[in-house]
Chains A and B, each alone.
Chain A
Amino acid sequence: GDSVTQMEGPVTLSEEAFLTINCTYTATGYPSLFWYVQYPGEGLQLLLKATKADDKGSNKGFEATYRKETTSFHLEKGSVQVSDSAVYFCALRLSGGYQKVTFGTGTKLQVIP
């Protein structure tokens, strides 16, 4: 079946450090890929997405590139802020009617001043 594997957390970084959260996937078809972010006490919200190979999703300084050859969608940010502290979920979804979203287990990021 489909699956998403992302790096274990928690990840602790100092403010202005470079962030990478690794994500790899397996899928039976050609998925769209997503990063969702969950701030404490809130629901998930979409951070960025990519729908085909070599697409780069970006938002709020975060970026991720859809790499079909390595089945990866790593999340990066050049300079993290304390306000980026949250849990980040990598996810995939296939097209064609209703398809469930397959989520990774989440990576908790803590940014310290």
Chain B
Amino acid sequence: NAGVTQTPKFQVLKTGQSMTLQCAQDMNHEYMSWYRQDPGMGLRLIHYSVGAGITDQGEVPNGYNVSRSTTEDFPLRLLSAAPSQTSVYFCASSYGGDSVYEQYFGPGTRLTVT
């Protein structure tokens, strides 16, 4: 079991460039989420998905797109990078349903936008 994997680990972009952060999980989890982590602010939810083909916005969705064509993959797209998107990005997954299950996190992608 690889768990939750993310690529790349590090990325530097220029303002206005676009890119996709990859996330995959091999635990057959229904729920997947993207967070950003900024100093002194904890983790904030960007987008989430409750299953293949179903996505929704979190707290800070502006400037990001997601799609979920398979249970395993949940890529995050930055449409036109801005310095305010400099952050560490974490993907997480969990079982679905009405019970509360723990989330499993990937190792993160550290993004710098210049």
Given the interface contacts A43-B105, A43-B106, A100-B48, does A51 sit within 8 Å of B43 by beta carbon?
no
Is A95 in contact with B98, judged by CB distance below 8 angstroms?
yes
Interface, chain B (partner A; CB < 8 A): 4, 31, 33, 40-43, 45, 48, 50, 56, 58-59, 90, 92, 96-100, 102-108
Q: Which 4 A-B pairs have CB atoms at the shortest separation, nearest pair first?
A: A43-B105, A103-B42, A32-B100, A105-B42
Nearest-CB residue, chain B, relative to A94: B100
- Give CA–CA (A68, B92) in the complex, Å: 28
Classify the secondary structure of A's interface with B: loop
Size band of the A side of the interface? 20 to 34
- Give CA–CA (A68, B22) in the complex, Å: 39
A66 within 8 A of B: no
Is B98 in contact with A34, judged by CB distance below 8 angstroms?
no
A77 within 8 A of B: no
Is A89 in contact with B43, judged by CB distance below 8 angstroms?
yes
- Give CA–CA (A97, B92) in the complex, Å: 16
Interface, chain A (partner B; CB < 8 A): 4, 31-32, 34, 36, 41-46, 49, 51, 89, 93-101, 103-106
- Give CA–CA (A31, B58) in the complex, Å: 19
Contact partner, B90, options A43, A96, A97, A98, Cβ 8 Å? A43
Is B42 in contact with A104, judged by CB distance below 8 angstroms?
yes
Contact partner, A42, options B33, B43, B107, Cβ 8 Å? B107
Q: How far is the CB of B34 from chain A (nearest CB, A)?
A: 11
Is B42 in contact with A34, judged by CB distance below 8 angstroms?
no
